[in-house]
Amino acid sequence: MPVITLPDGSKKEFPNPVTVAEVASSIGAGLARAALAGKVNGRLVDTSFRIESDAGVSIVTDRDAEGIEVIRHSTAHLLAHAVKELFPEAQVTIGPVIADGFYYDFAYSRAFTEADLAAIEKRMQEIAKRDHPVARKLMPRDDAVKFFRDQGEEYKAQIIAGIPAGENISLYSQGEFTDLCRGPHVPSTGKLKAFKLMKLAGAYWRGDSKNEMLQRIYGTAWADKKALDEYLHRLEEAEKRDHRKLGKALDLFHIQEEAPGMVFWHERGWRLYQAITQYMSRLWRDHDYREIRTPQLVDRSLWEKSGHWEKFHADMFITESEKRLYAVKPMNCPCHIQVYNQGIKSYRDLPFRLAEFGSCHRNEQSGALHGLMRVRGFVQDDAHIFCTEDQIQSEVSAFIDLLHKVYADFGFKEVQYRLSTRPVNRIGSDESWDSAEHALEQALNAKNLPWALQPGEGAFYGPKIEFSLKDSIGRVWQCGTIQVDFSMPGRLGAEYVAADGARRTPVMLHRAILGSVERFIGILIEEYAGAFPVWLAPVQAAVLPISEKYLDYAETVTKDLKKAGLLVETDLRNEKIGFKIREHTLQRVPYLLVVGEKEASNATVAVRTRTGEDLGAMTLDAFRQRLDRETEGLV
């Protein structure tokens, strides 16, 4: 007579062993129809799973993250089923869930085409409508190997043969199709209602370039058509906003093969870059940070002392001079400790805050490089705070306030927070970890911030808070972080004189708000689709003379506005005004200043916005005041 405890604490007693599906039915017909899987004592299982003793049970539906994952996993099997019906000679291999979807790899004698993709998707829809029950069964390993070999599925047989002898293998069947899988899966194919195949790609068997090339089909799956349509819309928007395309179209930057993962900043891109770094420098000064600059090349011995050589030397760029090995700086923290160590520090000097736009280089794999988002050469808005354990919470609290201001000024309204706590392999005493974790947690709670716990995800030297931004089309970007470090200050000899005269080691807080400046600019380009707010715009206004007769007045306007500190360009081309307006609108210039006979006579400009709004005639003073209001506190 199993007693089932439900998530709300209520209990249900059954006279005999009961399945998850039967538990759902006992709660209500609606829940029974919606059930995709269950969680029994925290373990995700099929709705057909039999519960034979007392257990905590929750029903998983498409409203749960686990439910969406079950849908995507099951849709990968639906894809394989469709391929086998259409192309019986194809061999199925593996089909995992990935972010927002799934893929499945196939071995087939010819390359799949876009027409094949459409046919496969149509067949998937047909199989879903058949509403085949999905059934799980266990088979001894050797029997499973034979089962798949008899079907000509050599890849599946290889996978199973790698499982220890004597194991029972979990198989799932729907209609005539059977696949190897750990599960769980939806109860029937009719639960799969919103999916789309996205693209074809190549993939090596088991990810090894020495093995044969397979064909990978990517897909996405969602709870319903509305969610699928919203996702496809986000993809369409993301394509329009691709920072690599906009970087070229707006003449901001480029990357070329002779310097992989390194950015060539053009004049307009560098203006954007400087607007960001100058803004951050002002904030650093206002919040008592000391801005510094440290070397690019540092002797191997320092990286050995800090522990980075052992853990990261494969990702470092190494050079040699006069029989000494140097690493191009991959991170800034050891160098900041060298600055801290110059001169004796007292407890009265703490907290001691050092900040740097630290230029770093890491030897990322070429296949991982992606525009500004993943580069080999980048700059961090890196800072390190040397403090006592008692000061951790107040420093973290002040940092969170600063981070919120920065993100709000850049236009980001939604921030997500994650607290990562002690991993199994760590240094430092349990007491120190308790103190640091409590300080971080209290700093978040004191501000009533909703945060998620990531147990065991802290660095080996201390816990951390991660700050992620949600952009205008729903994507999440992890940018900011603050990490507590008990290790490196001691390794590199950092000390302070305590109130009792004793020498003690400070705690070091690693913190960044933007993270990589390059990556943050990539995020900004995509967030604004290149239409930056005035304070960030590389060109704030374009002066557009109607004809050659007004070139002199246009240049006078431009010089006057430049003297006021505005970023202004003049379009002196012999083109029609409509053409010029369109060109500069496409360049996302915030303001277009049209000048002709009336404007020249009245010492005004006719002001239009990039969105097409006509603001009418303004004097230059009135236009300057408008921009001053828009950029107040930011430049």
Interatomic CA distance for residues 608 and 617, integer angstroms: 9
Q: Is 584 a catalytic residue?
A: no
CB contact set of 473 (below 8 Å; sequence gap of 6+) = 234, 237, 238, 241
Contact call for residues 247 and 254 (beta carbons, < 8 A)? yes
Cα 91 from chain centroid (whole Å): 34
- Asked if 62 contacts 30 with a C-beta cutoff of 8 angstroms, the reply is no
362 catalytic residue (yes or no): yes
Burial of 475 (0-12, 13-18, 19+ CB in 10 A): middle
Please pick, among 174, 380, 483, 540, the residue that the annotation labels catalytic: 380
CB count within 10 Å of CB 487 equals 18
The neighbouring-strand residues paired with 504 are 496
Are 261 and 292 in contact by the 8 Å Cβ rule? The answer is no
Which of 308, 374, 422, 464 is catalytic? The answer is 464
Going 538 to 541 to 544 to 549, the CA torsion angle's sign is negative
Q: Is 81 noted as a catalytic residue in this protein?
A: no
DSSP state, 2? P
| CA-wise closest residue to 534 among 580, 561, 566 | 566
The catalytic position among 132, 185, 336, 510 is: 510
Beta strands in 234-296 (DSSP E): 253-254, 264-265, 290-291
DSSP assignment string, 288-317: T-EE----SEEEHHHHHHHTHHHHHGGGS-
Distance CA 76, CA 92 (A): 11
Asked if 384 is an active-site residue, the reply is yes
Which of 72, 308, 362, 584 is catalytic? The answer is: 362
Question: Helix-strand-coil percent breakdown of the chain, rounded to 5?
Answer: 40, 30, 30
At 471, which amino acid appears?
D
Closest CA to 128 of 170, 95, 175: 175
DSSP state of 462: B
Place of tokens 């992606």: 370
- Tell me, yes or no, if 464 is annotated catalytic: yes
- DSSP designation for 370: B
Please state, in angstroms and rounded to a whole number, the distance separating the CA atoms of residues 332 and 334.
6
Nearest one of 476, 392, 458 to 420, comparing CA atoms: 458
Q: What are phi and psi of 25, to 5 degrees?
A: -65, -35
> Tokens 């209500």 belong to which residue?
28
Cβ neighbours, 10 Å, residue 311: 11
Report the DSSP pairing between strands 352-361 and 290-291: parallel
Contacts (Cβ under 8 Å, ≥6 apart) of 324: 299, 300
Residue with tokens 């002797």: 299
Catalytic position from the list 181, 333, 360, 387: 333
Helices and strands counted in the chain (H then E): 20, 35
- What whole-number distance in Å separates Cα of residue 449 and Cα of residue 427? 29
Active site residue 335: no
**Bridge pairing between strands 568-570 and 541-545:** parallel
Q: Reply yes or no on whether 360 is catalytic.
A: no
What's the gap between Cα 284 and its chain centre? 26
- Residue 352 in tokens: 């001691």
Which of 62, 116, 382, 471 is the catalytic position?
382
- Tell me which residues are annotated as active site: 333, 362, 380, 382, 384, 464, 510
